[in-house]
Every structure is written in structure tokens, then in C-alpha cells.
Amino acid sequence: MLPPLYPRQLTCMANKFFSTVVLCLCAFVLQAQQAVVTGRSTMFGNKPVALYIIDDFITNNSVLVDSTKASAEGSFTLKNAVKQPYYGFLKAGELVYDIHLEPGAKINVVIYDTTGSSNDSLFVPIAFNQRSSDYSNDVNVAITRFDNEYNDFLLLNYKAILRKTAQKITEEFIKQLQTNYAKYTNSYFKSYMAYRIATLELTAYVKGEKTIIKQYFNNKPVLYTNDGYMDLFNQVFEGTMKDYVISSKGQSLLNAINVNANFDKALNLLKQDSTLQNDTVRELYLIKGLGELFYRPGIVKYSILEMLKYATEKALTPDNKLIATHLLAKLEKLRAGTPAPPFTLKNIVTGQPASLADFRGKVIYLSFWDENNIPSVQEIDLIKELDKQFGKRIAFISIGNYEDEAKTLALITRNKYKWVFLNSKGNKQLVDDYEVLSYPAFYLIDAAGNILKYPADRPSGNIGATLDKIYNKK
């Protein structure tokens, strides 16, 4: 089986074949530490444009560093003072563009308008043009060129890689890459290229995982903000702790987690692995592994949370502490007893704003649905009877991304739905906050505004019995 392609590979391949825009990036080294991104696109006239960085590749935590409203002509400027290079992205509406920020970099972005183009425009690749002929220190140019060659090779030799017969051509390709980019001096790019090559060696079966770990992670610094390094880290260590703790050799580690909830003891046990001799890497591996174990049957969730809490204060590096903090927040979100994410949305029946706090004092049965999704419509229709039975003491709220409110309102009126329908149009954060992965999704929220149950049973399931107990509780 072919090893999976990880985020950066997939992003680059998708950009190469499905982008609807052309980007022109120009970067210059400045004395100031502030990175500045300027650009223009007629598609962005009077629209919001935002710049993000990824500060944690374990949880993929993104940080908004600047946002602005483009001028009527579509011009915009975004800036942020960065102390080190970061992988990030420029976002305008639903369009997202990879970008690398460095201290003092000045990046000019031009996004051409493809409105009204035929579907063939989806295959227009991203292009990069510079004002200078010296590209050797330009991280965006170098990575773009490298990724194009890299992904062309993967696509051309995919079948051979799948058959495990691509080792020789892969080794030849790697030598060619090293020759082609020998004069590139940007330090971020040089590390990026080294770890992308390591990923290719692993993907094409040129080297095994143990060899890769010893060569690229032991006795090497952890490059937390380099997407090439972190993509390889995630690929090599993905799911390995889950497999280890169920083996006979992993019982001591399982006990250290489940029974002792002892972070330091778990680290010492992992040190017995000859491939985990870098203290910082081993600790990062444990933090990542704890997150993966959290949802596994037989794992004591409380122990995982306690170990991560310990890591937020006692981990070896600030970055490991930050990752543990993000992971802890992610695992605690939507757990029973934790506050439900707040929202204020438009009630499409009354036209007035409604917030979660407005329903304080009532148990809430919350649903996210899509009116164009048949299972959603079927489940929502079953809420009608639940609302009739329990609606006096239990609030029913259905949230959807309604592009055509008149159409949705007609559906509500026609079916005589009496509960609350809110429009989440444009509020992607809300969907992320509630971790809506598919439609429909259901949640129970208690009278104090805390999560009672997630995921909650569907209307077609056992939710009626649950609501009956709540409704008739003295």
C-alpha cells in the first residue's frame, strides 16, 4: 500500500491542478523584522482579506496575524512582525493561498480575476514572477519551484511507487534536485528541501522509518515552524503510539498513562526505543500520541488530560508547552460539562439576532443541517414531533448555511416548523467551534449553557427517551 500523501504534498498538488488564480510573489530582505504582504485583485474589491500563520503543526492551529478590507480597486496591505519564518496562508473569501513569511520580507501578491472563465480555468497553475533575477534567497520562489518538480515526479511515478519499484529512479531524482538547488541559500528552504526529500525517500521505500528517524530527527533540532519538517514528523509518527500500547511491549507505557497518569514515567519508558533518543522529539512524540490515544476504547480520558496539563507547564520547550496547550483545549472542547461555544446568528423567521445566551435556563437540542442533504431533511422533519412534545421546556434550534433565506423560509412555513432556525452563512468559525464534520450533527446543551452530550442522538434514534427523562425530571 502506498504511504499517504501528507498536507503539504496534497496542498501543492491541488494548487498545481485546481487553482483558479495566478499568484505573483516578490520578496526582498529588509532590515525591519516586519513581514509585509501587499497585493491587488479586482475580485477582492471592498472585501475582507486575512493573513494567517500556522504556529502548531500537531493540531494545525492557525493564528490570524492581520486582516483588512480591500479597496474598491481590490488593493490590500497586510503586515505582521515575525521573529522567525512561518508557513501561513492568505485567505480571501473561500480562496486560500500558501505563503511563507520571514522577518523583513516584502511580498507582493497579484491574483488575476477568473470570474466568468470556463471550467478549464480550474487547471491554470500558480505562477510566480520576481523583480530580481536572484532567486537563491527567496523562500516562496524556491519552495514553489521545488514543489512543482517534486509533485510532477510523484504524479509521473505514482504506479511505480505503489508497486515498490521506484527506488532507483527516486534516488536519481533526489540527486538531480540536490544539484538543481545547490545554489539556493535560504536556510528555511534548505531545511524544507531536506525534509521533503526524506518524505520522498519514505514514500518511495528508499529508506525505512527507523532509518529516517535516526537520520533526520535524532541529534537534530526540532523545526516547529517548518512545514517540511513537521509534515515528515507527522507522517513517521502517525498512529504509532496507538499501535504500541496494545502490544505486549507497550503494557508498561499503557499503565503509565492509564493508571499512573505520569508524564515523566511515560517519557522514560519511551527512551528505551533506540529511535527516540532526541529528548525534545521524544517529548513531542508523547504529546502527539496522547492526543491520538484520547478517543481509543479502554483509555482513561482523565489521565490523558492530566498528563497534557502537566506538559503545558513542565515540557522541555516553549513550543512543546504551546502544542500541549492547544491539544488540551481541543480535547476538552465539547466534552460534557464544558461551555458550549457561544454564537449570535440571524433568526430567519423573525429576522432578529439570536444568541445561545438567549436560551439560558432551558435545555437545548441543537442541530446543524443542510437543506440540500436528504438525511438532514429527514432528521429535521422528525424534530417536529419532538418540539410538539417537549417544546415548552426544551429549546430546539436548527442552524444552517442558508444561501437563499426565502427558499428556506418557504420550507419552514410549508412544513409548519415552529422552532428556531438560525443562519450561519459566512460563519465558518462556528462550524469549526462545534466540530461539524458532516450533516446533520446534534448536540444537547444544559440549562447553564454547558455541553450535556456530544454527539447527541438523532431524532430517528434514542433522543426521544433522553428528552423525556429531562422533561419529566423533578
Helix axes 227-237, 209-216, angle to 10 degrees: 140
Per-residue pLDDT of the chain (474 residues; tens, 9 = 90+): 333 444 444 444 444 433 333 334 443 333 448 888 888 888 888 889 999 999 999 999 999 999 999 999 989 999 998 889 999 888 887 677 888 999 988 888 777 666 555 443 333 333 344 544 456 678 888 898 899 999 999 999 999 999 999 999 999 999 999 999 999 989 999 999 999 999 999 999 999 999 999 999 998 999 999 999 999 999 999 989 988 998 989 999 999 999 999 999 999 999 999 999 999 999 999 999 999 999 888 999 999 999 999 999 999 999 999 999 999 998 988 888 999 999 999 999 999 999 999 999 999 999 999 988 888 999 999 999 999 999 999 999 999 988 889 999 999 999 999 999 999 987 878 988 898 878 999 999 999 999 999 889 999 998 999 999 998 874
Q: Which of 199, 88, 97, 193 is nearest to 147 (CA)?
A: 193
For position 266, what pLDDT does the model report?
97
For position 113, what pLDDT does the model report?
67
For position 43, what pLDDT does the model report?
80
For position 436, what pLDDT does the model report?
87
User: How many Å separate Cα 424 from the centre of its chain?
Assistant: 20
For position 472, what pLDDT does the model report?
85
Distance, in Å, from the CA atom of 352 to the CA atom of 36, rounded to the nearest integer, reads 40
Q: What DSSP designation does 271 have?
A: T
Q: How many CA atoms lie within 13 A of 319 on its CB side?
A: 18
Residue 322: CB atoms within 10 A of its CB come to 18
Q: What DSSP designation does 250 have?
A: G
Supply φ then ψ for residue 61, to 5 degrees: -75, 125
Q: Which of 203, 196, 101 is nearest to 145 (CA)?
A: 196
Sort 249 into a burial class: Cβ within 10 Å, 0-12 / 13-18 / 19+: exposed
C-alpha cell at 104: 523583513
Phi-psi region at 465: left, alpha or beta (left = phi > 0; alpha = psi -120 to 50): alpha
Distance, in Å, from the CA atom of 297 to the CA atom of 301, rounded to the nearest integer, reads 10
Strand ranges of the sheet holding 86-92, from the earlier edge strand across to the other edge? 61-69, 48-56, 86-92, 95-101
The pTM (predicted TM-score) of the whole model is 0.76
| Host H or E run for residue 236 | helix 227-237
Residue 156: CB atoms within 10 A of its CB come to 13
Three-class DSSP category at 390: helix
CA-CA-CA-CA torsion sign (430, 435, 437, 439): negative
Q: What angle do CA 384, 389, 393 make, to 5 degrees?
A: 110
**CB of 377 closer than 8 Å to CB of 409:** no
How do strand 34-40 and strand 75-81 relate by DSSP bridges?
A: antiparallel
469 forms bridges with which residues in the sheet? Answer: none
Is the bond preceding residue 341 a cis peptide, omega within 30 degrees?
no
